[in-house]
A = this chain, B = another copy of it.
Amino acid sequence: MRAPKTKTEIRREQIAQVALALVARHGLRAMNLAALAGEVGVVPSAIYRHYPSKEAVLDAVLDLIRRRLLENVENVRRDFISARDRLDQLLRRHVDMILHNQGIPRVVFSEEIFGGPPTRRRQVYQVIEDYLDRVANLVREGQERGEFRPGPPPETVARMFLGLVQTASVLRLMSDGAFDAARYRESAWELLSEMIAAPT
């Protein structure tokens, strides 16, 4: 049973997506060439027709993640006006995304990232910083409009925001899904939004 020949652009995309899905289900370690090729329906050496190395596949996966993260911010900007709504919805979507695709935190916090070449670490750090910047901007705008009180540094709030997602995803992963991430998000957001809100 030979796999049908497919144009390399399409295969590249397919491989990246399958890779992300693999990581989501069983961790980065499960993203080995045997499993990856198997899931694609191809033999391991065929991967090298489309990527020069496994490292390159990982890069593609990281790019996939980057795009999805920043896309969330843009969508929220488009769909909502008030800073509070935007943050609320962004948190909601970010947590949802991570619950449905645990590959993202698994990749971002993985050994291969920390232990790998410094280039990759910087690359991932850049993605996170980008994301943090945009969240901080949402906060800053809210302060300028008088929705939020001016005291809290937007960068700090953005990082605490990220902390909520991190905690939710780690506890979820650790507890085998038993941890109720949605409820935690709700409860924590109530406190966080109250913390930054303008006094009534």
Q: A28 to chain B: which residues have CB within 8 Å?
A: 111
Cβ contact within 8 Å between B176 and A159: no
- Minimum-distance CB pairs A-B, first 3: A163-B163, A27-B115, A163-B167
A162–B170 CA distance with the chains assembled, in angstroms: 11
Cβ contact within 8 Å between B170 and A188: no
A111–B111 CA distance with the chains assembled, in angstroms: 7
* A binding-site residues for B, Cβ under 8 Å: 26-30, 106, 109-111, 113-115, 118, 121, 124-125, 128, 152-153, 156-157, 159-160, 162-164, 166-167, 170-171, 173-176, 184, 187-188, 191-192, 194-195
CB distance from A180 to the nearest CB of B (A): 11
Q: A187 to chain B: which residues have CB within 8 Å?
A: 153, 156
Cβ contact within 8 Å between A156 and B174: no
Cβ contact within 8 Å between B152 and A29: no
CB distance from A15 to the nearest CB of B (A): 21
